[in-house]
Structure 1
Amino acid sequence: MPRPRQFDEKRVLSSVQAAFWDKGYAGTSLDDLLAASGLGKGSLYGAFGDKRSLFLRVLREYDDANDAMLRTRLEQSDRAVDVVRDFVTGPLRDPDGAEARRGCLLANTAMELSADVAEVAAVARRSYAATTTLLAEAVRRAQREGDVTPHVDPDETAHAVLAGQLGLLVLGRVGQDPAILSTMAGTLLQGLLPPP
């Protein structure tokens, strides 16, 4: 009979996620994972599999959490246009740019591994498809609420919003000045979400 786990799985996954996020997949060593998790190698790999399996689990959970957060924001927001604006500007609000330099775990991973790891490319495609669906829903609602002109196509706008946000994340990751990123975000949103 297997022994019950003597650790908090959510805490371990959160700590391991932070290690991967900070250093990337290739840059995160087994020692980094052991230090982050507080577990021994046997316990870590016994519970989560090898480094690749652990990473893919972390990535899927990160993606699921982001999807749930965006859905909740859309359901609870008074104005849908604010959800779209927050999607673009949220990672850029840190005045010293630390959050922008950290980037998005999924976007960072997609750039690092998608060409070589089919599972990562699949997670990214699934995630970006779900995100554009939600953003298109937000644009449609914003049109009904009178905040966005009815002349824009919600699906095309959602794709452009995602592409713009990802571009800003890449620029933030390489250390673009936060004030310039904020100006870029404002210009992007003004062009994509024109009022009636």
Structure 2
Amino acid sequence: MVGRRQFDERRTLDLARDIFWFKGYGATSVQDIANASGVLRGSLYNAYQDKETLFLQVFEEYSRDFLADATRVLAHPSVDRALRELFDFLITSMTTGEPARGCLTTKTAIDTRADGERIRAALRNLLDELERLVQDRLSADEVRPRLAMPPADAARVLVTMTRGIVVMERVYQDPKRLRETAESLINAVLPPA
């Protein structure tokens, strides 16, 4: 039927996400996704036009799920615990798999072959929204007096560190070290009461 996908789109997008996540945008070809999914390359091009559009569809769903998880952990009643759980969620996510899959957002951001404006805009949107979520959590009346800096600055520092932790994971491959680093940052931004 014209206009109807002749393959399991959900399964194909999930496989494409995993391939982009493990290999990176630049190292992934449409043929890689076709081979993994069993969908002909021509069918993928007919459905998504090009690799960038396919990636953006995958990344939109990834962003939605990622931000929903971040919202959930940041809702913890204790701001200290909320920030620890945010970093724990991120560290657990990036260290999943063998080898560890890393972070789809950061891998894409540093991939020189993922330099299209639509991709950069998608990355900015996710990071800006994460920053907004953290800033909102840090702007609560009971939290502000404890902050070592204004909520917007604290949120930017924390979100920037979420990207730095990804790089350190690649170098050290030590989740304990990452959690200790996150704890130090949290204590610097939000000194213990």
TM-score exceeds 0.5: yes
Pair 1:151–1:112, CA change in 2 (3 A): closer
Aligned to 1:14: 14
Determine whether 1:105 maps to 2:80. no
Task: Give the letter for the 1:116 counterpart.
Answer: D
Pair 1:58–1:194, CA change in 2 (3 A): same
Pair 1:113–1:148, CA change in 2 (3 A): farther
- TM-score scaled by structure 2? 0.84
Shift of residue 131, structure 1, vs aligned partner: 0.9
Q: How does 1:47-86 map to 2 (within 5 A)?
A: 47-75=47-75, 77-86=76-85
Shift of residue 148, structure 1, vs aligned partner: 7.0
Task: Give the letter for the 1:132 counterpart.
Answer: E
User: More displaced, 126-135 or 113-122?
Assistant: 113-122
User: More displaced, 32-41 or 62-71?
Assistant: 62-71
Aligned to 2:124: 125
CA contact (8 A) 2:87 2:182 kept: yes
- Work out the CA distance in 2 between the residues paired with 1:53 and 1:178: 33
Shift of residue 114, structure 1, vs aligned partner: 8.1
Shift of residue 27, structure 1, vs aligned partner: 1.0
CA contact (8 A) 1:133 1:158 kept: yes
Pair 1:159–1:175, CA change in 2 (3 A): same
Which consecutive residues of structure 2, in runs of 5 or more, have no partner in the other structure? none
CA contact (8 A) 1:139 1:148 kept: no
- TM-score scaled by structure 1? 0.83
- Work out the CA distance in 1 between the residues paired with 2:49 and 2:81: 40
Aligned to 1:33: 33
- Higher helix share goes to which structure? 1
Aligned residues with identical type, % of pairs: 32
Pair 1:194–1:15, CA change in 2 (3 A): same
CA RMSD of aligned residues (A): 2.6
